[in-house]
Copies of this chain bind each other. A is one copy, B any other.
Amino acid sequence: MPHTPSPLARPFPAMPPIAGVTPHVARAHYKSWDRCDLTFITLAPGTSVAGVTTQSKCPSPEVEWCRAALVLGQARALVVNAGNANAFTGQRGRAAVEAIAARAAGHLGCQPSDIFVASTGVIGVPLPIDKAEAGLDAAFAAAPCSWEDAANTIGTTDTFAKGAMTTAIVDGRTVTLVGIIKGSGMIAPDMATMLGFIFTDAAVEPVFLQAALAEANRASFACITVDSDTSTSDTVLAFATGAAGNAPLAASDDAGADAFRAALSDLCLQLAHLVVRDGEGASKFIEIAVTGAESDASARTIALSIANSPLVKTAIAGEDANWGRVVMAVGKAGEPAERDLLSIRFGDTQVAQGGLAVEGYDEAPVAGHLKGQDIEIGVDLGRGEGRATVWTCDLTHGYISINADYRS
Cα A322 to Cα B57 with chains together (Å): 18
A299 to chain B, nearest CB (A): 14
- Picked from B92, B330, B352, the residue with its CB within 8 Å of the CB of A57 is B330
User: Quick check: B404 and A328 within 8 Å, CB to CB?
Assistant: no
Q: Tell yes or no: A157 within 8 A of B by CB.
A: no
Evaluate contact between A124 and B309: CB separation under 8 angstroms.
Answer: no
**A331 pairs with B232, CB closer than 8 A:** yes
B229 touches A320 (CB 8 A): no
Mark out the residues of chain A between 238 and 259 whose CB falls within 8 Å of any chain B CB in the assembled complex: none
Q: State A320–B189 Cα separation when bound (angstroms).
A: 8
**In the complex, which of the residues B230, B324, B394, B401 contacts A189, with contact meaning CB atoms closer than 8 Å?**
B324
* Inter-chain contacts of A395 with B (CB < 8 A): 310, 400, 404
On whether the beta carbons of A230 and B87 are closer than 8 Å, the reply is no
Contact B310 A227 (CB under 8 A): yes
Asked if A328 and B191 make an inter-chain contact with CB atoms under 8 angstroms apart, the answer reads: yes
Does residue A350 face the partner (Cβ distance < 8 Å to B)?
Answer: no
Complex contacts, A325 vs chain B, CB 8 Å: 123, 188-189, 191, 229
How many angstroms from the CA of A306 to the CA of B218 in the assembled complex? 25
Q: How far is the CB of A291 from chain B (nearest CB, A)?
A: 17
A403–B355 CB distance below 8 A: no
Q: Quick one: given A188-B315, A397-B400, are A229 and B407 in contact (CB under 8 Å)?
A: no
Question: If the complex has contacts A56-B328, A58-B328, are A229 and B309 also in contact, measured as CB distance less than 8 A?
Answer: yes
- The number of chain A residues with a CB under 8 A from chain B is 77
Residues of B within 8 A of A404 (CB): 314-315, 317-318, 320, 394-397
Mark each residue of chain A from 328 to 342: 1 if its CB lies under 8 Å from any CB of chain B, else 0. 111111111111101
A122 at the interface (CB under 8 A from B): yes
* CB pair A339 B408 closer than 8 Å: no
Which among B56, B186, B355, B405 is the interface contact of A90 at CB below 8 angstroms? Answer: B355
Write the chain B residue with the least CB distance to A408. B320
Q: Given the complex, which residues of B lie within 8 Å of A337, measured CB to CB?
A: 57-58
Which residue from chain B places its CB closest to the CB of A321 in the assembled complex? B408
A123 CA / B351 CA spacing, docked (Å): 13
Cβ-defined partner of A329 (8 Å) among B229, B338, B355? B229
Is A89 close to B, CB under 8 A? yes
- Does the CB pair A331–B59 fall under 8 Å? yes
A170 CB, nearest partner CB in chain B, Å = 37
- Please state if B327 and A408 are interface contacts (CB–CB under 8 Å): no
Select which of B334, B338, B356 is within 8 A of A89 by beta carbon: B356
Q: Is A153 an interface residue (CB 8 A)?
A: no
Are B320 and A188 in contact, with the CB atoms below 8 A? yes
A231 to B328, Cβ gap below 8 A? yes
| Docked pose: A395 CA to B314 CA in angstroms | 13
CB proximity of A351 to chain B, nearest CB, Å: 9
Q: A230-B332, A337-B58, A397-B400 are in contact. Are A123 and B327 (CB under 8 A)?
A: yes
Known: A56-B328, A124-B324. 13 other contacts (CB 8 A): A58-B339, A58-B342, A88-B355, A93-B356, A124-B352, A124-B357, A126-B356, A188-B314, A188-B315, A188-B320, A310-B395, A310-B399, A320-B404
Report A's interface with B, CB cutoff 8 A. 54-59, 85, 87-90, 92-93, 122-126, 186, 188-189, 191-192, 227-232, 308-311, 314-315, 317-325, 327-340, 342, 352, 354-357, 394-397, 399-401, 403-408
Interface pairs (15), CB distance under 8 Å = A55-B334, A57-B330, A57-B335, A88-B324, A88-B355, A90-B354, A93-B356, A124-B356, A189-B324, A229-B328, A231-B328, A232-B328, A232-B331, A310-B399, A397-B397
